[in-house]
């Protein structure tokens, strides 16, 4: 059997890492998507955050073990998204200054946040739209709590706010989301 034909065996650490990433990657990506402007930016930010985590682990600089990966990644994603946004804003100002007649058309591809067979595409779209109308401080907490399965303490640590603030933002965000969905239901735009 040649080296090309030999099955690749993953080390136990690599297999464990891959399993962890398969389980938590979609939740982290959803958070990154909420923090960035495009699907591609979310992919880049998430990848950069994971690389930073792996580098810290390999260098023996990461403190807290696997339980601390989530807060670290949420915080790193948030910071990288802020840095990317600032960089993009500076670049845009430079481009606008050089050529004022340049217009950027930002089309966002449809990537469902709600991946469930019970939800049809229309309902998913309506829920995503309603969630996007919320202020970022509320939508971030809702995403981290519901899809990220994080506690308010973990959310507070990742967003650098108190756990009580995280809980109240979650509550206020859900109330605003319910009002938005109730309005859509009254207009006949929502079937749920």
* CATH classification of the domain holding 86: 1.10.1740
Judge if 95 and 124 occupy the same domain. Answer: no
Judge if 89 and 132 occupy the same domain. Answer: no
**Does 180 fall in a domain?**
yes
**Does 135 fall in a domain?**
yes
**Does 1 fall in a domain?**
no
Domain boundary among 49, 67, 100: 100
CB 157, CB 75: distance < 8 Å: yes
**Does 177 fall in a domain?**
yes
CB 158, CB 74: distance < 8 Å: yes
**Does 125 fall in a domain?**
yes
Q: What is the pLDDT of residue 106?
A: 38
**Does 7 fall in a domain?**
no
Q: What is the pLDDT of residue 89?
A: 76
- Judged against a pLDDT cut of 60, whether residue 104 lies above it is answered with no
Judge if 48 and 84 occupy the same domain. Answer: yes
pLDDT digits (tens, 9 = 90+) for 123-148: 677 777 788 888 889 988 988 888 88
d(CA 97, CA 162): 41
Judge if 163 and 191 occupy the same domain. Answer: yes
pLDDT digits (tens, 9 = 90+) for 21-72: 999 999 999 999 998 888 999 999 999 999 999 999 999 998 888 888 989 9
HSE-CB for 96 with a 13 A CA cutoff: 8
- In which domain, by residue range, is 40 found? 13-100
Flag the least confident range among 2-6, 8-12, 117-121, 166-170. 2-6
Among residues 14, 21, 116, 173, the alpha carbon closest in space to that of 29 is found at: 21
d(CA 15, CA 48): 21
Judge if 23 and 95 occupy the same domain. Answer: yes
**Does 110 fall in a domain?**
no
Give the CATH number, domain containing residue 185.
Answer: 1.10.10.10
Judge if 35 and 63 occupy the same domain. Answer: yes
**Does 113 fall in a domain?**
no
Q: What is the pLDDT of residue 189?
A: 63
pTM: 0.54
Judge if 86 and 128 occupy the same domain. Answer: no
Q: What is the pLDDT of residue 111?
A: 41
Please give the tally of structural domains in the chain: 2
Selected residue with higher pLDDT from 105 and 120: 120
Helix extents (H) in 59-135: 69-98, 121-133
């Amino acid at each position: 059997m040649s080296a090309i034909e030999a099955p690749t065996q993953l080390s136990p650490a690599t297999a464990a890492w891959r399993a962890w990433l398969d389980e938590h990657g979609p939740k982290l990506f959803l958070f990154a998507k909420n923090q960035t402007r495009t699907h591609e930016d979310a992919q880049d930010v998430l990848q950069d955050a994971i690389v930073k985590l792996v580098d810290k682990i390999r260098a023996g600089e990461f403190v807290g073990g696997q339980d601390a990966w989530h807060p670290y990644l949420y915080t790193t994603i948030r910071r990288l998204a802020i840095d990317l946004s600032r960089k993009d804003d500076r670049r845009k100002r430079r481009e606008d200054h050089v050529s004022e007649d340049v217009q950027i058309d930002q089309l966002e591809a449809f990537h469902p946040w709600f991946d469930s067979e019970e939800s049809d595409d229309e309902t998913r779209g309506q829920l995503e739209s309603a969630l996007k109308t919320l202020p970022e401080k509320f939508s971030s907490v809702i995403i981290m709590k519901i899809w990220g399965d994080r506690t308010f303490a973990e959310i507070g640590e990742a967003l650098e706010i108190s756990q009580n603030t995280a809980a109240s933002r979650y509550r206020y965000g859900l109330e605003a989301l319910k009002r938005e969905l109730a309005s859509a239901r009254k207009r006949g735009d929502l079937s749920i």
